[in-house]
Structure 1
Amino acid sequence: MRDPLFRMALVLGLLSAVGPFAIDMYLPAMPQVAQDLGTTEAGAALTLTSYFIAFGIAQMFYGPMADSIGRKRPLILGVVVFIVATILAAMAPTIGWLIVARAVQGLGAATLMVVPRAVIRDMATGPAAARMMALIMIVISISPMLAPLTGSLVMAWGDWRDIFMVLAVAAIISLCLIFFALPETLAPGNRRKVQLSAMSSGARRLLSDRRFMGLTMIGGFGMASFFVFLSSASFVYTRQYGLSPTGFSIAFAINAVGFFSASQFAARLAEKFGMERVISLAITGFAGMTLLLTMIVWLGVDDLPVVIAGLFLANACLGLVIPTAMVMSLDPHPDIAGLASSLGGTIQMLTGGAMIALTGPFMQNSSATMVPAIATCALLAWLAAALSLPRLRLGTA
């Protein structure tokens, strides 16, 4: 705990975990939400979709704001919005109310995705930044293990509304962390006024940067694979394999173990082999593993242990990809780190949402449709890497 970068990474990780908890803790409650509010499963799923869309769009605003007024105030604003929206969600009398409340919740939670990345860029670059990002990924990745189980526990003595009240308490704790444990990392002399012309110029610079866009899309399609899993796993695990909400939570959690375990080696491997080589090998492993699992499932070997094991190995590769791609995309743009973080985050979230929409009509609540959809995202991530990373294009991964 004497290492200031470690302490900062821990604080940022705790803050960043609030958004994932707002997603994953809610998953076991979706059938109860549909029944309680008199809607269909598709209607209940819209509460997830609205959160993702708002979360993605809002990142475009927090990044420039963080570059203009510092890192702390955008965090405070976003968390306050999140708290209010979470309380409104707990009070929702209709599905429409809940969909809107979830969207506003996403607007607030977006700050906890954008600003921590910019704080990391303020404090470190290269392997040191990758190490900080990996530490944050520990906390974020633990949330898919703990959040559904926590949601199931809350539902054991309450209902889905109590889940939102627990989230509100967690957000209040986060607000205290921002006030008392997080220093301002952007000096006044390095702040940039919010100017549409400057934002437009910065956005054009980033969008025309082949490497930035390639790395962003690698992360975007990688995250999309998880979003596809997120939107379908509860139905596949409970309907095809007959798991209870608690059983689903445990199976869901196992998939996160491979991701966060591997992410802790990202910085060490980057120092030894180079960041580009690590991401090239990892994205190839991710695509290869998901394609292999697709073939196995289509051959009729679709038992639950096989699916869980295959996704575990694939997510281990993805755990090396995501933090490395994030750091590599921001490193060349220290003067517009906030804008780069928000634009990259927005593109990635919208990519994830688009993949859910594109694969949704083909889903049949079975592993035979879920696994190929995940593999499609993985293959697209590999193609983005092939187009943007010289090492992979030249076949020297």
Structure 2
Amino acid sequence: MTSAQKQLSFALVLGSLAALGPLCTDFYLPALPELAGSLSTSTATAQLSLTAGLLGLGVGQLFFGPLSDKLGRMKPLLFSLMLLLLASIACALAQNIGQLLAARLIQGLAGAGGAVLSRAVARDLYSGHALTKFFSVLMLVNGVAPIGAPVLGGALLAWLDWRGLFIVLAAIALLLLAVCAWRLKETLPPARRSQASLLSVFGGLGGLLVQRQFMGLCLTQGFSMAGMFAYIGASPFVLQQLYGLSPQGFSFCFAINGLGLIAASQIAARTSARLGEYRVLAFGLGVAGTASSALLLCGLLGSPLPFILAALFFSVMINGLIGTLASSLAMQTQGKNAGSASAMIGVAMFALGAISVPFTGIGGTSVVTMGLTIWGCYIIAIVLFLVMVNKKALSAAA
């Protein structure tokens, strides 16, 4: 196997791990309306299953990130995949919404392991623009999850109910557990691991909070992703219940937006090599603000579905560019504590995403509530980037 083939194989495994977050959230989206009816609960309460998963994905990274700096990457990773397997089975067996919410929280906690450790492993091996380039490859592989998950989920609903989808997730967890045990090797040797006590390692997360450039980028990406999670949580109800799309039709629209995410991540890697990560990231945030403003305007004017879909496409796809560059720039400022830094990035993304989703249901989920939430998240991201991130200070910290 050539060096390029080995790198691609490595990226496929890491990309699959990074995709666990989107997979846990996107795969069952077409079944949300069915799930609400099956468990005799409201739309807003059914959406809380998404919120619970996002909270787990955020909080879990605070555990797996620092733990991997102390114990290495492999042991926490394999434990997280085993927990994901068991939690997915628990979701399938849930008899009421309370049981499902508890199982979804644990499923999110478990899925956080793959998300945080994929970034940490990449930082163990790469730096500078090479890290940006590898993150774009991860985003390319990771982009298959937002595309394939709802499409596959919608297609499987022709034969399975929502419980069957969680059984499929359990099978995916089992497959990844086997692949990682067979293909992945430890990337953080004992000599490079934190020598502090485990309590001190977890306490070291606080040191990241005072690093202005890192936290500026972390929160910029966090609020940007919160806007995308608002879209993820609201779009099944907006497109299926308000505009009458079938689960398969919704999955197709979701897939198109996923293709946009992939394209944007590759554009980020290519253009940043010539123009610099900071400059391209600033441009991407400008696009996010413009596209989300257009989406909100479409909602207020009651625009036809094609206009809504066009505004949604640009509002969602730009996250591929923002996510690639903000993650790379933030991780470039960190070295030995890559696991903790990756955890903080993940917490910002998923915790803020969990907060944003319920806002789309205030007063009833609609294009306006979805658009307003996305727009608000993007505007906050832009303001934080302008106030906290300085190009010269960022270059000195890298």
The alignment's TM-score, normalised by the length of structure 1, stands at 0.93
1:350-369 alpha-carbon deviations (Å, 9 max, x no partner): 1122222445425x332222
Corresponding residue for residue 374 of structure 2: 374
The range that moved more, 330-339 or 313-322, is: 313-322
1:207 aligns with 2:209: yes
Structure 1 residues 359 and 297, CA, compared in 2 at 3 Å: closer, same or farther? closer
In structure 1, distance between residues paired with 2:174 and 2:190: 27
In structure 2, distance between residues paired with 1:248 and 1:190: 47
Corresponding residue for residue 114 of structure 1: 116
In structure 2, distance between residues paired with 1:323 and 1:134: 6
1:197 aligns with 2:216: no
In structure 2, distance between residues paired with 1:50 and 1:159: 21
| 2:11 and 2:141 in contact (8 A); partners too | no
In structure 1, distance between residues paired with 2:235 and 2:212: 34
Structure 1 residues 316 and 32, CA, compared in 2 at 3 Å: closer, same or farther? closer
| 2:238 and 2:366 in contact (8 A); partners too | yes
Corresponding residue for residue 20 of structure 1: 22
| 1:386 and 1:392 in contact (8 A); partners too | no
Corresponding residue for residue 6 of structure 1: 8
The range that moved more, 2-11 or 154-163, is: 2-11
SS in 1 for 2:3: coil
CA drift of 1:222 comes to 0.8
1:24-55 alpha-carbon deviations (Å, 9 max, x no partner): 11111122222222222222222111111121
Instruction: Please show how residues 131-142 of structure 1 align to structure 2 within 5 Å.
Output: 131-142=133-144
1:58-89 alpha-carbon deviations (Å, 9 max, x no partner): 11010111111111111100000000111111
1:390 aligns with 2:390: yes
SS in 2 for 1:185: coil
Corresponding residue for residue 354 of structure 1: 355
CA drift of 1:155 comes to 1.6
1:158-215 alpha-carbon deviations (Å, 9 max, x no partner): 2111111111111111011111111111111001144323432x32321111111110
SS in 2 for 1:361: coil
In structure 1, distance between residues paired with 2:87 and 2:253: 30
Aligned length, in residue pairs: 390
The alignment's TM-score, normalised by the length of structure 2, stands at 0.93
Give 2:82's aligned amino acid: V
| 1:70 and 1:187 in contact (8 A); partners too | yes
Corresponding residue for residue 328 of structure 1: 329
SS in 1 for 2:187: coil
In structure 2, distance between residues paired with 1:249 and 1:176: 29
| 1:276 and 1:389 in contact (8 A); partners too | no
CA drift of 1:296 comes to 4.0
Q: Quote the RMSD (CA, aligned, Å).
A: 1.9
1:282-321 alpha-carbon deviations (Å, 9 max, x no partner): 1111112211332344334x21111111222233332211
Structure 1 residues 42 and 272, CA, compared in 2 at 3 Å: closer, same or farther? same
Unaligned runs of 5+ in 1: none
1:130 aligns with 2:132: yes
In structure 2, distance between residues paired with 1:95 and 1:199: 33
| 1:118 and 1:341 in contact (8 A); partners too | yes
In structure 1, distance between residues paired with 2:356 and 2:214: 21
Structure 1 residues 343 and 73, CA, compared in 2 at 3 Å: closer, same or farther? same
1:252-277 alpha-carbon deviations (Å, 9 max, x no partner): 22222211111012222121111111
Instruction: Please show how residues 25-44 of structure 1 align to structure 2 within 5 Å.
Output: 25-44=27-46
| 1:385 and 1:392 in contact (8 A); partners too | no
1:66 aligns with 2:68: yes
SS in 2 for 1:334: coil
1:288 to 272, 287, 290: 290
Corresponding residue for residue 312 of structure 1: 313
Give 1:304's aligned amino acid: L
CA drift of 1:385 comes to 1.1
CA drift of 1:220 comes to 0.5
In structure 2, distance between residues paired with 1:306 and 1:111: 38
Structure 1 residues 183 and 358, CA, compared in 2 at 3 Å: closer, same or farther? same
Structure 1 residues 44 and 392, CA, compared in 2 at 3 Å: closer, same or farther? farther
In structure 2, distance between residues paired with 1:390 and 1:108: 35
Structure 1 residues 245 and 267, CA, compared in 2 at 3 Å: closer, same or farther? same
1:136-165 alpha-carbon deviations (Å, 9 max, x no partner): 112222222211121122221121111111
Corresponding residue for residue 162 of structure 2: 160
| 2:20 and 2:115 in contact (8 A); partners too | no
Give 2:334's aligned amino acid: H
SS in 1 for 2:336: helix
Structure 1 residues 9 and 383, CA, compared in 2 at 3 Å: closer, same or farther? same
| 2:288 and 2:378 in contact (8 A); partners too | yes
| 2:225 and 2:349 in contact (8 A); partners too | yes
CA drift of 1:124 comes to 0.4
Structure 1 residues 298 and 275, CA, compared in 2 at 3 Å: closer, same or farther? same
CA drift of 1:392 comes to 11
Corresponding residue for residue 184 of structure 2: 182
Give 2:137's aligned amino acid: L
SS in 2 for 1:157: coil
| 2:298 and 2:308 in contact (8 A); partners too | no
Corresponding residue for residue 344 of structure 1: 345
SS in 2 for 1:93: coil
In structure 1, distance between residues paired with 2:155 and 2:178: 25
Corresponding residue for residue 218 of structure 1: 220
